[in-house]
């Protein structure tokens, strides 16, 4: 599921280098996940949107701060 979210983002942005994807690109992608009431009366898209937001957030934190160990990044966020 994690890889699918990242691959789908790359397809949506049409950029091969993940480091040049902007915040607006990610927000545009997450916005594209929204469905209308007639398309999704159970509002299942909200769970997908939330899950993909968390996956992409963790992915880009790891990409941008690859030189810092994971334990250090958790300590800085608190």
**Which range has the worst mean pLDDT, 17-31, 32-46, 64-78?**
64-78
Give residue 77's pLDDT.
46
Measure the CA–CA gap between 9 and 74, rounded to whole angstroms: 25
The fraction of the chain above a pLDDT of 70, given in percent, is 86
Question: Residue length, the chain?
Answer: 78
Both tokens of 78, joined, read 């608190």
pTM here is 0.77
Phi, psi of 44 (to 5 degrees): -70, -20
Both tokens of 56, joined, read 């992409």
Confidence of residue 74 (pLDDT cuts 50, 70, 90): low
Nearest to 25, CA basis, from 10, 45, 7, 43:
10
């Amino acid at each position: 599921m994690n890889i699918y979210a990242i691959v789908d983002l790359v397809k949506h942005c049409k950029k091969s280098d993940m480091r040049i994807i902007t915040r607006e690109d990610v927000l545009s992608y997450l916005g594209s996940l929204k469905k209308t009431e007639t398309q999704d009366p159970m509002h299942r898209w909200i769970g997908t949107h939330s899950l993909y937001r968390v996956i992409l957030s963790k992915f880009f934190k790891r990409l941008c701060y690859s030189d810092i160990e994971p334990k250090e990044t958790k300590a800085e966020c608190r």
